[in-house]
Amino acid sequence: MERWDVAVIGGGVLGTAVACWLGARYEGRIVLVEREPQVARHASGRNTGVIHRPFYLHPKERKLFAKVAGLSYPMWKQYAAARNLPWAEVGTLKVAATEEQVKSLEKNVEYARANGMDPSELELLSPVKVSEIEPNVRCAGALLIKTDTVVDFRAFTESLRRDAEKSGVRFLMDQEVERVENRGDENLLFTRRKGDPIVARLTVNCAGGNAVDIAHIFGLAGEYADMHFRGEYWTVDERIAHIVTRNVYCVPRQGEFPFLDPHWIVRVDGKREIGPNAVPVPSPIAYKGLLRHGPTWLSDLFEPPTINKIRVWLNRDFVALSANEMWSSLARTEMLRRVQRFIPRLRIEHLVAQGTAGIRSVVMDRRGQLAKEAIEISGPGSFHVLNFNSPGATGAPAYAAHVVNKLAEQGCLDHVKLKALSGEPWDWERAL
């Protein structure tokens, strides 16, 4: 059996960034274990590709996410230039449908300042000013975030993998962890591939949509459950893609569930998409259909601990919104109707094909409350990151550094020899 100093579970942007930092900082035997044949094949490669500035993150309730989003923006910008990866600062308009919602935009300006954004990055716009820069957008007011950027996070993650491999990190693909045994100072990770287990002194769980399940396998995080919501998009006819040149987001109808609102998205390849909805699905890879998973659908959706999910479903606002989301999955016209509130020129014939579907996995506690920050749990020879949601990919470089630094402070990496700082691919001191 091969023995490793550190095993990272999860080949999304976070797990790959953690592996990259470990390889850059330590001499030890480091391995990344991923269920798919390539990295970034789920949430990291299926998101909107927007690097958001932290204007919408509450500076206290989402303090860590706001910090790592702010730190990571210049890191990603430097990385894109160094690795010749696409980087397009198209900007974002967050639009208010009513005068009352304009107050929410003013609050976002306060958040932006508290989160360290430069005042020149933002501008509150009147409806007249909006029509001057985006003639086809209608609203009661908008916040322009000039430095929001679109990228290809799958390409970023694949590049990080190459950097990690150059520093000695091994990637084991097609290896889904399904059972764990702790033997003193080692964890034995058994995968669906039969044969010897992967043996590691330290296991770092960055499995994204599967992170809660992995933590449960380790006998941890029993108080948490997760739910998965598929976000579906429609691709806009390229002949009218020019009608709006920036991303357009709307003020959420329900602040508690901000992912249940539509956007106009500019992709890094120039295409435009509208979406998403948020359809409850039983797993983080259920990209098509509602009932295609057969009789196990409800049992998967309500796998233990069930009380967390039951309490979410007792929330009337959540139930009403979810019903609308299910309908929008079946009816293209419903998705169109939502976007027409701020882009009235859009027509049904402009939605030419289904776009990329991605899945957001949210973690809830026993009260049914959705977690607002990442949840970090330590166990025997293991460390688990749950609920690394939006702005997950945006904040991955700095958050990965935070994880590695925390492991070092806790003594979890004492068995691994430090390397001299090299500044590749990022400067360690600036990431913290």
Walk me through the domains of the chain, giving residue ranges and CATH numbers.
3-44+154-224+372-431 (3.50.50.60), 92-146 (no CATH), 227-242+253-295+317-361 (no CATH)
Residue type, 284: P
Distance CA 301, CA 287 (A): 15
The pLDDT value given to residue 295: 47
CA-based R_g, the chain, Å: 22
Read off the tokens for 33: 């274990």
Alpha helices, DSSP H only, in 84-194?
Answer: 99-114, 127-133, 153-166
Query: In a 3-state reduction of DSSP, which class is residue 318?
Result: helix
The pLDDT value given to residue 73: 98
* Pairing assessment for the beta strands 92-96 and 247-250 based on DSSP bridges: parallel
Angle made by CA atoms 311, 317, 323, in degrees to the nearest 5: 95
Distance CA 260, CA 354 (A): 18
Distance CA 5, CA 304 (A): 32
The pLDDT value given to residue 26: 96
The pLDDT value given to residue 194: 76
Going by C-alpha positions, the residue among 292, 8, 277, 40 that lies closest to residue 154 is 40
* Pairing assessment for the beta strands 272-275 and 263-266 based on DSSP bridges: antiparallel
Distance CA 115, CA 92 (A): 18
The pLDDT value given to residue 265: 96
The pLDDT value given to residue 137: 98
Distance CA 162, CA 168 (A): 10
DSSP conformation letters of 30-53: EEEE-SSSSSS-SHHHHS--EE--
The pLDDT value given to residue 303: 66
The pLDDT value given to residue 72: 98
Angle made by CA atoms 394, 341, 275, in degrees to the nearest 5: 40
Query: In a 3-state reduction of DSSP, which class is residue 121?
Result: helix
Query: In a 3-state reduction of DSSP, which class is residue 57?
Result: coil
Side-chain-side CA neighbours of 131 within 13 Å: the count stands at 7
| Per-residue confidence in pLDDT tens, the chain, 432 aa | 789 999 999 999 999 999 999 999 999 999 999 999 999 999 999 999 999 999 999 999 999 999 999 999 999 999 999 999 999 999 999 999 999 999 999 999 999 999 999 999 999 999 999 999 999 999 999 999 999 999 999 999 999 999 999 999 999 999 999 999 999 899 999 998 878 999 999 999 999 999 999 999 999 999 999 988 888 899 999 999 999 999 999 998 765 555 567 899 999 999 999 988 777 788 899 888 754 444 455 555 566 676 665 666 666 656 555 555 555 555 678 889 889 999 999 999 999 999 989 998 989 898 888 899 999 999 999 999 999 988 899 999 999 999 999 999 999 999 999 998 777 799 999 999
The pLDDT value given to residue 190: 95
- Kindly list the distances between the CA atom of residue 426 and the CA atoms of 72, 75, 105, 196, 324, in Å, as whole numbers in the listed order: 10, 7, 33, 35, 44
Residue type, 253: R
* Pairing assessment for the beta strands 234-236 and 225-231 based on DSSP bridges: unpaired
Residue type, 329: S
Distance CA 82, CA 270 (A): 22
User: What length does the chain have?
Assistant: 432
The pLDDT value given to residue 267: 97
Q: In Å, how far from its chain's centre is CA 59?
A: 19
Residue labelled with tokens 């070092």: 408
Report phi then psi at 225, rounded to 5: -130, 165
DSSP conformation letters of 185-233: TEEEEEESS-SSPEEEEEEEE--GGGHHHHHHHTT--TT-EEEEEEE--
- Kindly list the distances between the CA atom of residue 361 and the CA atoms of 116, 226, 229, 283, 326, in Å, as whole numbers in the listed order: 28, 6, 6, 9, 17
The pLDDT value given to residue 293: 46
Side-chain-side CA neighbours of 9 within 13 Å: the count stands at 34
Query: In a 3-state reduction of DSSP, which class is residue 138?
Result: coil
Residue labelled with tokens 């380790």: 218
Contact 259, 390 (CB under 8 A): yes
Residue 170: strand pairing partners:
31
